Structure 1
Amino acid sequence: GTPGALDNASGVTILLLLAELLKDYHGSLGVELVALNGEDYYNNPGEMLFLAQNKGRFDDILLGINLDGVGFREGDSAYSLYGCPDELTSLIRKVFSARAGIVEGEPWVQGDHMLFVINQRPALAMTSAEVMRLMNEIIHTPKDRPEIVNAGKLVQAAQALNDLLRRIP
């Protein structure tokens, strides 16, 4: 078993923080916060349900955002972009580069953000700059414990996403 602190209690925490930050949001975007599960299982039950419930709606999705492994106490938080138009890419880079501790990282395909990519929708994945080490040594093991999470990094990620969503026209 695994306590699941980075995979994926940290992502759930960021979603809850972001929901609180967006409670007064009245912008032009329809923001939907979704917790998916099951990408680690052969039949992806959470993703399959999301696909079924959103059939014919994917063209309405401006950006799919995946939070997975964010908050590791070592190293920076990292983001990667997938199929984003130039204007959106520039905005994301501008917003995130203004925050110390958030860097553009290497692409990785082992996450729920690929659900959007395979459906031709832009995606943003947030994780740790140490994502490969986490996947090889910590995720899905008893080592994935709360004490390896830096709560300040979760707050920082939620604040950065709040800033981003409020700036998307």
Structure 2
Amino acid sequence: MGLLAKIAKPRPVGTAQNQQITDYIGSYLESLGYETIKIPFSCKVWEAKESFLVIDGIKLTLQVNPYSESFAGTRKATVVRSLEELERVECVDKILFLTEELAKESLQPKNYPFYYPNEHKVIIDCLEAKKPSAIIAITGGTPISGLKPFPVMEDGNFYIPIASLDKDIFLEIKDQVLEKELELSIVSKNDLTTAYQLIASKKVTNPKGTIVICAHMDSKYNTDGALDNASGVATMLSAAKGIENHRYNIDIVPFNSEEYYDPQGELIYLKELEENKKEVSLVINIDTVAHVGSKVAVATFNFNGKEQLELDGTTNSCTNIVRGQPWYAGDHAIFAFGGTKCIVIYTSDLFEECLSYTHCPKDTIDLVDEKLIENAAEYICKVVNAYK
């Protein structure tokens, strides 16, 4: 578990630990004969402390949404439940409670380059136009992480202070908030710093193209991110030792902003591909793999029938590897949508159980099965080494 233990620590983009782990991954890959480059980018490092709402002398704990601005003061409050109510409400210089339809899911960051649905844009644009002093989102649990209450906003380009309150608590006080003077404290701080996107490469003579093996290395705040995605990085690094393909250049890419509101690492790598006129033949993305009690699932994109049959043969010959269903919420998506052949490797119980541990303190190293990391790495080596 040496690789996993070195990576499974809180490592949000730009933090000191993120930098240390970036350097460790680079040194490890250099020791295997890969050439590495580190490309800097500017990012925010976030820190929050105890935040609360006081209603009739009762102090309620809030969860600050990552990268929120700070707020301290007393204001009247109003509640909105739908976009129609939001469009009508007058809430300048008030505390705005978002509930029901408006707080059913996390909103994509503003202008996210790969995916920014119009329904999210409409809500965010309206919130900014309404100019509340602060926002409190009433949320609970979510099927896509272990956070409760989950953040509605995680965006350093959204400048209205915002925190979340558990909806079960809100049910007890909802009749007490309207047009009352409420005391609110959101303690949040953002500092600009520099992070790095690492790219490691092995080149061959007269390559037929480039095979990309990637796994995002950053984590959310307040989690070791063992499953998501130290497991994927450990798998990627283990596979890097056994790759022997003399037909294709190999890029090993630990993406360093997948959990960040601004995907600088991904954009940097896409630019590097364009500038160096690299033709990507295959992408293998590893994200949240090796959960104890599961198997290793593989899903494919853009393979023709013959290629899929060959890949199925490899899958069937490997221990603990099973066919999975395609999904797009990962670093392979931009390549898959562009028509590149992609394989995503993940834990077979990702959607049934595993996501409930992610993005929160529950995601610890004891949830990861070392043997499944070995199985996944062996599978990657078989696929890459035989790829023609």
TM-score under structure 1 length normalisation = 0.90
Equivalent residue for 2:208?
none
Aligned residue runs from structure 1 range 72-151, under 5 A: 72-132=291-351, 133-135=353-355, 137-151=356-370
Q: Higher helix share goes to which structure?
A: 1
SS at match of 2:345: strand
Deviation at 1:51, TM superposition (A): 1.1
Q: Higher strand share goes to which structure?
A: 2
Aligned residue runs from structure 1 range 1-169, under 5 A: 1-22=222-243, 25-55=244-274, 60-132=279-351, 133-135=353-355, 137-169=356-388
Distance 1:26 1:67, change over 3 A: closer
Query: Which residue type is aligned with residue 142 of structure 1?
Result: P
Identity of aligned residues (%): 25
Output the CA distance in 1 between the equivalents of 2:256 and 2:359.
14
Output the CA distance in 2 between the equivalents of 1:78 and 1:26.
23
Distance 1:98 1:57, change over 3 A: farther
Q: Is the 8 A contact 1:6 1:149 kept in 2?
A: yes
Deviation at 1:59, TM superposition (A): 6.7
- Contiguous gaps of at least 5 residues in structure 2: 1-221
User: Which structure is higher in RCO with an 8 Å CA cutoff and minimum separation 6?
Assistant: 1
Query: Which residue type is aligned with residue 236 of structure 2?
Result: L
Query: Which residue type is aligned with residue 167 of structure 1?
Result: A
Distance 1:73 1:58, change over 3 A: farther
Deviations 1:124-149 (A, max 9, x none): 000011111322x1111111111010
RMSD across aligned C-alpha pairs, in angstroms?
Answer: 1.7
Output the CA distance in 2 between the equivalents of 1:46 and 1:13.
19
Query: Which residue type is aligned with residue 231 of structure 2?
Result: S
Output the CA distance in 1 between the equivalents of 2:278 and 2:316.
28
- Contiguous gaps of at least 5 residues in structure 1: none
Larger Rg over CA atoms: 2
